[in-house]
Chains A and B, each alone.
Chain A
Amino acid sequence: MVLAKQVPDTRNVGKDAMTAEGTVNRAALPAIFNPEDLNALEQALRLKDSIPGTTVTVITMGPFRAAEVIRESLYRGADGGYVLSDRAFAGSDTLATSYALSCAIRNLKDIDLIICGRQAIDGDTAQVGSQVAEKLGMNQITYAEEIVSVKDGIIRVKRRVEKGVEVLEGPFPMLVTVNSSAASCRPRNAKLLMKYKYARIPNELQASNEDYTTLCNSRDFLQIGEWSVNDIVCDPAELGLGGSPTKVKKIENVVFQAKESKTFTASDNDIECLIQELISNHTIG
């Protein structure tokens, strides 16, 4: 089982990323597969390659377009996936998100291992993985760089933390969160891309201009699972904004106090003047 998230690409934020009112202009940012979730997917696919009988299922939570994450996973070798999507989840903080995800995961039986990225680049909180583990009563290994081995229900994981590496070992079921220092995800496989190109969730079929319904209905593997709040066993009070203990009090656009600055060109004369000034005021030298 892999948990993945579709995120706005916050790494290359352009000038038009913020609206005049100081809110985030999501339309200006491309939606991408959260990078560390791709690292996580690769670890899962490696287990599938090395251990016969392994099935890799991907779950994502978000709007309908998050189905793209499932398709990308299928192109790379995942066996199937589910999109957890409902207005009831809107405004969820990490705790409400992990609650919804853990309820969805309970829909699936016989899960030995959940792998997810350490954190998503739009929030950088690194909380959902550990919280899902707690809610499911699983052990967790965070900051993983490599799943070293899986043998007789025991998983051995190398983790990379600030000051070094650690190798931990523990029994299934287990939740592992993966760092960006782990192996990159394999590229899309051309055959799988052809096979799953038209894989859709029911809601996409309804919204789409082109009608793939007949095609999807005739081929099971093109049907991506879609779960709403009615498809999971949960307490609605724990979901969304209402189920989130943290509230956003205010959001400010970041404005730094502009300093009065001296401007220099790259000419020799300018650089020498600057260096002499820095030496004379004892900043350097």
Chain B
Amino acid sequence: MNNLFVYCEIEDGVIGDVSLELLTKGRSLANQLNCQLEAVVIGHNLKGIEKLIFPFGVDVLHLADDKRLAPFTTMPHSSILIKLFQEEKPQIALMGATSVGRDLGPRISSALHSGLTADCTSLEIGTHEDKKTNKVYENLLYQIRPAFGGNIVATIINPDCRPQMATVREGVMKKEICDANYEGRINQLDVANYVSDADFAIAVIERHMEKSKINIKSSPILISGGYGMGSKDGFKMLFDLATAIGGEVGASRAAVDSGFCEHERQIGQTGVTVRPKLYIACGISGQIQHIAGMQESAMVIAINNDPAAPINAIADYVITGDVETIIPKIIKYYKQNSK
């Protein structure tokens, strides 16, 4: 009762990074709240999965293991979570802001009439005083997220409804093992008690999942292009630069929306959050929703023909001018000066 729950995504026996990041965050929130951290894994062939989960400081692992539960479909997973939450009454429930968590979360919040905040960038514990009723709420979950295209940051709370639910994107929180020998308890759920045949009305006919080949999250150098790159052809220059200095290519939402490159490369509030050693922003004006996804970069170079572009405010180096002339020069002088 009154504990913190994390729904863990699983694919081919591997727990999603976003879930492990949430367990890490969940552990620290649970310490603050002085409650237990509980994880839920729903899938098939889950034997031994606890070895991946307990080191993150999980006290109780709820397992629903049935061959009909993998791959993920909405209804059985939501039925299990809804009933489990009704029994266990968690104060907080977290899930990844992925196609799974964003499919499942709203359904559960609707059934339990609890508030859900999508795509939080920060989670904190705090108090709230209702000015009308003078009621003070202790230990609420502050769900902090950018809103309105990232132009404002809103702190959302759910004073009265439980669980307080939030989704968080992959890469936003840090993943850290709490204790390799942490001892938790397994609660094996009797799946038949949680699902009905009607939950399996949707059949998976085909499924092609690939490991994403693009990994902008772990690249130490990122060259990122915005709308100012002008076209898909303009983006080629960024790939040239990336090849020359050894980095990956990222993009702003405006560039992705304009079809300059694939969505997997999108950095920002609705894309990936990155923390590279060097971030080169080319033709990116620096809308807040983009900056939110890269502001923790160790060093930022901004190339933009607008000297007043917002990105310049957070850049260590600002080059003012046309990207088309500057990037070839960077490549040229890099080749000349590196051995």
A24-B148, A266-B321 are contacts. A249–B202 as well, Cβ < 8 Å? Answer: no
In the bound assembly, the distance between CA atoms of A93 and B326 in angstroms comes to: 46
In the bound assembly, the distance between CA atoms of A12 and B258 in angstroms comes to: 12
Interface pair A261/B312, CB less than 8 Å apart: yes
Interface pair B314/A128, CB less than 8 Å apart: no
Interface pair B277/A142, CB less than 8 Å apart: no
B35 CB–A CB distance under 8 Å:
no
In the bound assembly, the distance between CA atoms of A139 and B202 in angstroms comes to: 8
- In chain A, positions 122-166 with a C-beta closer than 8 Å to chain B are 122-131, 133-135, 139-143, 156, 159, 161-166
Interface pair A127/B105, CB less than 8 Å apart: yes
Q: Which residue of A lies closest to B269 (CB)?
A: A124
Interface pair A253/B201, CB less than 8 Å apart: no
Taking CB atoms, residues of chain B closer than 8 Å to A134 are 78, 106-107, 110-111
Q: How far is the CB of B208 from chain A (nearest CB, A)?
A: 5
B67 CB–A CB distance under 8 Å:
no
* Contact string against B for A residues 241-269, beta-carbon threshold 8 Å, 1 for contact and 0 otherwise: 00011111111111011110111111010
At the interface, is chain A mostly helix, strand, loop or mixed? Answer: mixed
Taking CB atoms, residues of chain B closer than 8 Å to A123 are 118, 147
Contact of B109 among A127, A140, A164, A247 (CB under 8 A): A127
A284 CB–B CB distance under 8 Å:
yes
A51 CB–B CB distance under 8 Å:
no
* Contact string against A for B residues 157-191, beta-carbon threshold 8 Å, 1 for contact and 0 otherwise: 11111000000000000000000000000000000
B338 CB–A CB distance under 8 Å:
yes
Interface pair B107/A130, CB less than 8 Å apart: yes
In the bound assembly, the distance between CA atoms of A263 and B153 in angstroms comes to: 29
Interface pair A24/B152, CB less than 8 Å apart: yes
CB within 8 Å of A: which residues of B? 11, 71, 73-75, 78, 98-100, 102-107, 109-111, 113-119, 128, 142-143, 146-161, 201-212, 221, 245-246, 253-254, 257, 263-264, 269-270, 277-278, 287-288, 291-292, 295, 299-302, 307, 312-322, 325-326, 329-330, 333-334, 336-339
Q: List 16 A-B contacts (CB under 8 A).
A: A11-B257, A123-B147, A124-B119, A130-B74, A161-B98, A166-B71, A166-B208, A167-B207, A168-B202, A171-B201, A245-B158, A249-B155, A249-B157, A272-B337, A274-B301, A279-B338
Q: In the complex, given contacts A128-B106, A279-B334, what are 16 additional A-B residue pairs having Cβ atoms less than 8 angstroms apart?
A: A13-B149, A13-B287, A95-B110, A122-B149, A125-B118, A130-B106, A130-B107, A130-B110, A133-B107, A134-B110, A167-B206, A168-B205, A253-B151, A254-B153, A261-B312, A275-B330
CB within 8 Å of B: which residues of A? 8, 10-13, 17-18, 22, 24, 93-95, 98, 121-131, 133-135, 139-143, 156, 159, 161-171, 180-181, 244-254, 256-259, 261-266, 268, 270-272, 274-276, 278-279, 283-285
